[in-house]
Each structure stands twice: as structure tokens, then as C-alpha cells.
């Protein structure tokens, strides 16, 4: 119980008359690497917004680091890489180093910036304009920005959209390093089921309700995929 980073109890949410989330119970423990999957419109991004305090649940309880979210103040413990983080004005002349500095909470800490860029292996690009980088490199920069506050929890929403397969592999290597070597808890939302089931330690599938919570391999063994995505959908399992 002392290691709970996130706890949701009977969380519900609706947009107008449309039910989006229903009776969601979820626990995320310290050092877990959790993947959240589900069909389009299943409520994945809404769930993240509730966890991050961006929108309140219709009812239910949300706890962060064992505190009710209404009383939680230590937001520097949470790093967030939003959906489409790499979509920005390409003409804006901002460097990699300047982007990462935006993650510093109060004053610019050059040592933290240097360390964050080193972790994602982007130190040599620090003076380059971010618009000159590939999509995969840009996404690594935005992870570095999120790392600048030395978070204990890293939340990522569809982080690999538009990134080529080689960059994706490097991206997940970095996440694994952060999780295993820096003890950062990771919460990852993705539509890319084939990749996620091979990378995360724990898998959650939602489709308005919590459909599955447990080991990725058990999810694969059962017929959840066909129920959610239709017949003929198969996993590609890699030897990780």
C-alpha cells in the first residue's frame, strides 16, 4: 500500500450524455511500467486527464502518491509528455536546450538540463533548432523536458505517433532505462498494441470500463483482442 503512486476508485466520466468512463478501479505501484490500451474512443486520454488533474471525474476518488488529488501539491513529481507534443510551429527558432529548460519549474538548472539530455542521448544536439530534428529525436527532447523536474512518475500519451520503427525502438529503450535504472514509474497510453505488449510490465485495457488488468502475456493468451478490435486481429510477438 505504501508504494501506490496512483489509485482510482469507482471513477466515472461523461461528456454531456455520452458515458466515457464507468466504474474505473486502478492502482499503479512505484517502479511499474504500465501500458494502457483500448479502441479509439475508449476513454484512454480522458483517463490520463483525470489522473493529471486536468479534468475532475464525474464521481469516484483519485489519489496521487496516496493523497486525494484535491490536496496533492507536488506536481513536480509528475512528468508529462502530451499527445502530439512534436506538433508545433516549425518556424519558431527555439533550440533543444531551450525546449528542455521549459521543464525547469522555478529557475533554469543547467545541470539538470544537461543530465536530462544525456539520459535521452541528445546532448550533442543541445544548440540545434528543434525543428531541424527528426520526429523521433524531437520526442526524446520532450522526454528530457519532462525529466527536468526529476519526476517519480512519467506519463506519456500516444508518444510514438508518426515516428519510424527504428526511432520507436530507441524510444522504448530509453523508457526501459528510465524505469529500470532510474526507478521512474511509467504510465504509457498507446494505440500500438503489438509494441506495447512487448515493452510494458503491466497492461491495462479499457473500453469505457476496465476490461483487463494484468500481465501482457495473459492478455495475449485470451480472446480480449478479438472482442475489442474484431476478428482477424493478431499480435506480433517479439523476443524481448
The pLDDT confidence band at residue 239, using thresholds 50, 70 and 90, is: very low
pLDDT surpassing 70 at residue 9:
yes
* Grid coordinates given for 76: 513536480
Long-range CB contact pairs, 50-53, < 8 A, 24+: 50/8, 50/11, 50/13, 50/21, 51/6, 51/8, 51/155, 51/187, 52/78, 52/80, 52/155
Q: Which residue has the cell 529548460?
A: 101
What does the pLDDT read at residue 2?
A: 66
Q: Which residue has the cell 516549425?
A: 90
Lowest-confidence pick of 5-19, 154-168, 200-214: 154-168
Distance CA 151, CA 63 (A): 17
pLDDT surpassing 70 at residue 139:
yes
Q: Where are the domains of the chain?
A: 4-229
Residues contacting 32, CB < 8 A, separation 6+ = 5, 185, 186, 201, 202
Can you tell me the mean pLDDT for 153-164?
A: 86
pLDDT surpassing 60 at residue 187:
yes
Lowest-confidence pick of 17-31, 84-98, 134-148, 160-174: 84-98
| CATH architecture, range 4-229 | 3-Layer(aba) Sandwich (3.40)
What does the pLDDT read at residue 237?
A: 46
Q: Which residue has the cell 530509453?
A: 174
Amino acid at each position: 500500500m505504501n508504494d501506490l503512486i496512483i489509485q482510482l476508485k469507482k471513477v466515472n466520466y461523461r461528456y454531456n450524455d455520452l458515458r466515457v468512463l464507468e466504474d474505473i478501479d486502478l492502482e499503479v505501484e512505484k517502479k511499474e511500467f504500465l501500458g494502457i490500451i483500448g479502441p479509439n474512443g475508449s476513454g484512454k486520454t480522458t483517463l490520463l486527464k483525470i489522473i493529471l488533474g486536468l479534468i475532475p471525474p464525474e464521481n469516484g476518488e483519485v489519489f496521487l502518491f496516496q493523497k486525494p488529488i484535491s490536496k496533492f501539491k507536488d506536481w513536480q513529481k509528475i512528468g508529462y509528455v502530451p499527445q502530439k507534443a512534436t506538433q508545433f510551429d516549425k518556424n519558431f527558432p527555439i533550440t533543444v536546450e531551450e525546449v528542455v529548460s521549459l521543464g525547469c519549474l522555478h529557475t533554469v538548472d543547467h545541470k539538470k538540463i544537461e543530465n536530462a539530455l544525456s539520459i535521452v542521448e541528445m546532448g550533442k544536439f543541445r544548440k540545434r533548432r528543434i525543428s531541424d530534428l527528426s520526429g523521433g529525436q524531437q520526442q526524446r527532447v520532450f522526454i528530457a523536458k519532462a525529466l527536468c523536474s526529476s519526476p517519480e512518475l512519467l506519463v506519456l500519451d500516444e508518444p510514438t505517433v508518426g515516428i519510424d520503427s527504428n526511432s520507436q525502438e530507441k524510444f522504448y529503450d530509453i523508457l526501459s532505462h528510465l524505469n529500470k535504472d532510474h526507478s521512474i514509474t511509467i504510465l504509457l497510453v498507446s494505440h500500438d498494441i503489438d509494441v506495447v505488449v512487448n515493452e510494458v510490465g503491466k497492461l491495462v485495457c479499457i473500453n469505457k470500463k476496465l476490461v483487463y488488468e494484468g500481465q501482457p502475456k495473459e492478455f495475449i493468451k485470451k480472446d480480449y483482442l478479438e472482442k475489442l478490435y474484431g476478428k482477424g486481429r493478431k499480435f506480433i510477438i517479439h523476443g524481448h
